[in-house]
Amino acid sequence: MKIVSYNVNGIRAAITKGFIDWLKSVNPDVVCLQEIKAQEAQLDLSLFEEAGYKYTYWYSAQKKGYSGVAILSKEKPDHIEFGTGIEYMDFEGRNIRADFNGVSIMSMYLPSGTNDDRLDFKLQYMADFQEYVNQLKEKYPNLVILGDYNICHEAIDIHNPVGLKNVSGFLPVEREWIGSFMESGFTDSFRVFNQEPDNYTWWSYRANARNNNKGWRLDYALVSKPLVDRLKRSVILSEAKHSDHCPILVELD
């Protein structure tokens, strides 16, 4: 099973930049999208069907043009779960899960904490999400949570760890949370295969950051412990340029 996760920063904008042709060339089985910024009715679903994704599930924010997640699949899932049942999370369309033959795949878009109000919101989300997942993995032990976590875990995951230590996305409280989240039963699949620095998934649009590779690794494919032995590869697809993020890919036996 080949799974791609991609914060597209607006699916309609990404389509105008060649997203569909890129999707055909990579040809994953399942696609997790974040920050779709669209309602299903605003999309031409035939584009995805022609690319091989007959089954598409969209979970938009109630606020138009904001947030939202989706899952595209070649095969019909056994079950789709829209949201978490936690109202303030679901209002912003941040979680969707699809179950396939004993493996549960979630597309998740964790909030940014760019100002004080949103940082408090993010910290609340993180705490409540941990509790939600603790219960979820009791029922679905084979769990893959992919998406934009809006956190760099370690100094190796950010281009300027000293200068950015007080910026949301690399705050000690955020880093501690994602570390403890992994310790609760998840593995950072990318680091199973790659321990090298300078591997990022997001770059600011400012100051030519992407060309200079001054980036942040904000996007993760975290796999639950029972799936670690089934990991075949986990890579960052940095050549894709339809967004300020790039996609990640994880493959399971």
Which residues are known to be catalytic?
148
CA dihedral 180, 183, 189, 194 (to 10 degrees): 80
Question: Do residues 2 and 23 make contact, with C-beta atoms less than 8 angstroms apart?
Answer: no
Q: Which residues pair with 169 in a beta bridge?
A: none
Alpha helices in the chain (DSSP H): 11-16, 19-26, 45-50, 87-91, 116-139, 172-183, 189-193
What is the 3-state secondary structure of 126-178? HHHHHHHHHHHHHHCCCEEEEEECCCCCCHHHECCCCCCCCCCCCCHHHHHHH
